[in-house]
Structure 1
Amino acid sequence: MALSQTAGMDSRPAAPNLSQKFYFAAWRWHFYAGLYVIPFLIMLALTGLGMMYISVFDGRDGEYVAVPVGETVQPIELQTQAAVDAIPGATLIEWIGPKADDRAAVVRVAVEGGNRMVAVDPYTTEVVESWDRRAGWYDFLSDIHGTLLIGDTGDRLIEIAAGLAIVLVLTGLYLWWPRGDWTSAFVPRLAAKGRALWKSLHAVIGVYISLILVVFLVSGLSWAGIWGERFVQAWSTFPAQKWDAVPLSDNTHAGHMNHGAMKDVPWALEQTPMPESGSDAGITGLPEGTVATADSIYALGRALGYQGRFRIVFPRDDAGVFTLNQDSMSNDSACPTCDRTVHVDQFTGKILADVQFSDYSLAGKSMAVGIAFHEGDMGLWNIVLNTVFCLSVIFVCVSGVVMWLKRRPTRAGRLAAPPVPQDLPFWKGAVLIGLFASLAFPLVGLTLLAVLALDVLILSNLPRLKRVVS
């Protein structure tokens, strides 16, 4: 009798050790974060791919509108006047140079209710076409990508998903971390079958895209309503005192130069006040006695070294300035380190500010490169890499769902989440991770508190409901 009891005791599965308990805890975090994040990551990958390829083949501001190459380029004054005359009640805002000799110039004008873009043949000043700035497929996908078409609510939901996705990456890397066989950690086990094959592909592809995913999440969060516009606002402010006694406006670069939801200003300058015209400040720009016009400002841009496509933003009032701008965020070039913004006094022609990539803070430089990389603006290699990355993100999301369905018992009537460890190993470390996520991403912190309150106040008192989500 004693022998049989001993044998029965020896046949029981060994109690999980501390490492196994921690693994199950991380797996549980990974599972629940994935439930929320997966639909958003798939949406972001699909809309991001669509936006990138629309930008590549059709452009964002009419940069691919074709025109016959003529003999003489007409003055910019005539090009912009033709655009203004073509749109009743229009006010001139911006001239955008052609990307090539056989492309149209594009003029942005303000009309009641928004902006219109007007493509003008630079050789004949004939208006080729015009369209509402916010009416294209790119903008439609951008609205889904940023707000789910439901405004601030969608923005907040996506921001929560992006923050939780970083938690997903951290827990995923822990679950992937090799425990003996390093080969299988980097090479998928294609000979495996069923759930084991899906798990291997999920883990290996996931680790290869993890660093890029974090770059995409952080650069994408720069557009988010809480983290981007408020939490990191100080990072997107160029120190205006560098402009040496130049009078400053109450208007910021973002307010003056952006149009619609698109960001057309280098991230490092968004919250910096615009300089004002009407003083003796600045350094020599236009030759003495030269009147500041669209054409003289264009000539100044070429003299300063602007190559290819760049923009001229016009003064809105007597305090406004001419602005020469070229940056990769606006699809002007494939070189984020070549960004340059120059402000010119409309009365004196003096240069009030000349901001280049080298002037940005470390955060500004990181975001300038990160956003250009995020949008696929840095050339063919960037487009190919982003395509492979987005498809990989979709696969990792789908494979995660497939693994869950294969593990979930038939007719379980519940989520079949990973089991709860018998205790919480390293619970202090978990608290620190949660605290870090809460401080870095405020909406993630509020979400974690909401989930905790739901568990303590509702699920604990409703056993059947608790079973469904367990």
Structure 2
Amino acid sequence: MTPPSPAPANPAARPRIHTDVYRAVWRWHFYAGLLVLPFLIWLAVTGGLFVFKDTIDDAFHRELRFASTSTQPIQPSSQLIAAALNAHPGSFVKYTGPATPGRTAEVGIATAQGRLLVYVDPKEGTVRGALPEGGSVAWTIRKLHSLKYFGSIARGAIEIAAGWAILLVLTGLYLWWPRGRTQGVVSVRGTSTQRVFWRDLHAVTGLFVGAALLFLAITGMPWSVFWGAKANELANGHNFGYPAGVRVQVPMSQARLSDHTTTAWSLQQAQIPQSAPTDQDAHAGHAGHAAAMPASPSPTLADGALGWDAAIAIFDRLGIAQGYTVQPPKGPTGVYSASIYPHDLDQQRVIHIDQYSGLPLVDMGYQDYGPLGRWLEWGINVHLGQEFGVLNQIVLVVACLAIVLLCVSAGTMWWKRRPAKGWGVPPQPQDARSLWGVTALLAVGGVLFPLVGASFLVIALLDRWLCRPAQPAT
């Protein structure tokens, strides 16, 4: 038997079908890069900074976040809330105790000008200052990262960019594949004045950072304005994200946990249970325990027969990690709600207690989430640089720097190969079926991510309209 002939070294001599597919993939890779590169640089820079959110806020807001070194005992949280309300009159919303010694407590207050976080020294009971809720430097970086400042359309653009980033990685891997080449695969040829240098630098960088980019794009999707919201509703609808029977079967209100505090993604649709007042509670609860609560313009502080400090004592006895946030009951069927989402996923916890009896109605931790919820929360935790400590942060920062290099090398490579006039779009396949075959494969991803799929359709139609051959004059 005659052995098969070796593949020709000259790409032009390869079977046309392979050349056509290569051109089709290259064309989509080009369009993806054209749309995504500015967004990727923005996301990499802001995301790399947000990895160090605690360090940044400690540096910029040191006088607010750090307490005195006094040896006095910590004052009851009701007194700290009263001090905050005295300095900033309004309605009490939530309280977050110090996570570690030497930290301040945070009191959330709703004022006519908006919500404030008031920082109170837990030992001296003095107010250290206040910030608008979400107004710290780190939270500003986070809102810049998601383009939250610029409205839903801009946030939709970020969602589309994340989907196209997935396309960039998959098509880039296909274009990198050696196909018999030995140079420019894992090494860089030439000098910085040559296009081949930037081509190889782009390909090799993409090879090593592609998995990280793919991971960040996928794990960032739960926050997206359209897909993330719909996926959250699907995953957590019908009380799924907050099963009523996790600890005991309790009646649920229509209120959502995410309406009142920052929550884990898998609990954004979680319903808050209801307290069950007896007739005696309903008539005497307010009057019998008003004295135990701090003086405040907000009547909700005096709701419930339990009392604020007694509720805090119950949460402490239940062993929730320090630094948890507590919200007071809202109305006669409201509950005291405590929640914490620390870096350690195993310490994530949400507890609701009856405002009259103090009995736990729901006590849920990370181990109680479903498999999908646990996987999503783990991915988000890694995305935020929290799961593996400093190592997680270092890996993410290196990945973000590599993504910037990937974008810069792509832009430089395109600039060097572009024609004097025009965009330098890669050539069309000779057989248009190759282009539409690749497009059809991409459409599968478009079904999973509808906003991304809509953008695929727009680009495909523009490509067909703008690049169609000119009709001969008659």
Give me the whole-angstrom Cα distance separating, in 1, the residues matched to 2:398 and 2:11: 47
Matches within 5 A, 1:264-413: 264-278=262-276, 292-327=306-341, 333-378=342-387, 379-409=389-419, 412-413=420-421
**TM-score, with length taken from structure 2:** 0.83
The more displaced of 13-22 and 102-111 is 13-22
> In the TM superposition, what whole-angstrom CA distance separates every residue of 1:196-239 from its partner, at most 9, and x where no partner exists?
22222222221222222222112222121110112442224514
TM-superposed deviation, 1:337: 3.1
Report SS of the residue matched to 2:72.
coil
Confirm or deny that 1:434 pairs with 2:442: yes
The more displaced of 35-44 and 127-136 is 127-136
Give me the whole-angstrom Cα distance separating, in 2, the residues matched to 1:48 and 1:399: 20
TM-superposed deviation, 1:93: 1.5
Report SS of the residue matched to 2:245.
helix
Give me the whole-angstrom Cα distance separating, in 2, the residues matched to 1:418 and 1:461: 15
TM-superposed deviation, 1:181: 5.6
Percent of matched pairs sharing the same residue:
32
Give me the whole-angstrom Cα distance separating, in 2, the residues matched to 1:321 and 1:241: 15
Runs of 5+ unmatched residues, structure 2: 1-9, 279-288, 290-303
Confirm or deny that 1:44 pairs with 2:52: no
Give me the whole-angstrom Cα distance separating, in 2, the residues matched to 1:108 and 1:37: 38
Distance 1:441 1:102, change over 3 A: same
TM-superposed deviation, 1:87: 0.9
**Equivalent AA in structure 2 for residue 85 of structure 1:** N
Preserved contact between residue 46 and residue 390 of structure 1 (Cα < 8 Å): yes
**Equivalent AA in structure 2 for residue 169 of structure 1:** V
Distance 1:428 1:190, change over 3 A: closer
Matches within 5 A, 1:147-226: 147=147, 149-180=149-180, 185=185, 187-189=186-188, 194-226=194-226
**Equivalent AA in structure 1 for residue 317 of structure 2:** A
Report SS of the residue matched to 1:131.
strand
Distance 1:441 1:182, change over 3 A: farther
Aligned to 1:20: 19
Preserved contact between residue 116 and residue 133 of structure 1 (Cα < 8 Å): yes
Report SS of the residue matched to 2:339.
strand
Report SS of the residue matched to 1:241.
coil
**Equivalent AA in structure 2 for residue 86 of structure 1:** A
The more displaced of 265-274 and 34-43 is 265-274
TM-superposed deviation, 1:153: 1.2
**Equivalent AA in structure 2 for residue 18 of structure 1:** I
TM-superposed deviation, 1:240: 2.8
Aligned to 2:114: 114
Report SS of the residue matched to 1:150.
helix
Aligned-residue CA RMSD in angstroms? 2.9
> In the TM superposition, what whole-angstrom CA distance separates every residue of 1:384-441 from its partner, at most 9, and x where no partner exists?
11111111111101110111112223xx210112111211465575244222122111
Preserved contact between residue 93 and residue 316 of structure 1 (Cα < 8 Å): no
Distance 1:279 1:197, change over 3 A: farther
TM-superposed deviation, 1:32: 0.7
Aligned to 1:6: none
Preserved contact between residue 314 and residue 321 of structure 1 (Cα < 8 Å): yes
Give me the whole-angstrom Cα distance separating, in 1, the residues matched to 2:431 and 2:469: 21
Give me the whole-angstrom Cα distance separating, in 2, the residues matched to 1:418 and 1:158: 25
Give me the whole-angstrom Cα distance separating, in 1, the residues matched to 2:345 and 2:191: 44
TM-superposed deviation, 1:189: 2.9
When the two structures are aligned, how many residues end up with a matched partner?
430
> In the TM superposition, what whole-angstrom CA distance separates every residue of 1:154-205 from its partner, at most 9, and x where no partner exists?
01111111111111111011112233467964x3336666222222222222
Preserved contact between residue 108 and residue 115 of structure 1 (Cα < 8 Å): yes
Give me the whole-angstrom Cα distance separating, in 1, the residues matched to 2:210 and 2:257: 34
Aligned to 2:259: 255
Distance 1:136 1:302, change over 3 A: closer
Report SS of the residue matched to 2:74.
coil
Aligned to 1:468: none
Matches within 5 A, 1:211-250: 211-236=211-236, 237-243=240-246, 244-250=248-254
Runs of 5+ unmatched residues, structure 1: 1-10, 258-263, 281-288, 328-332, 464-470
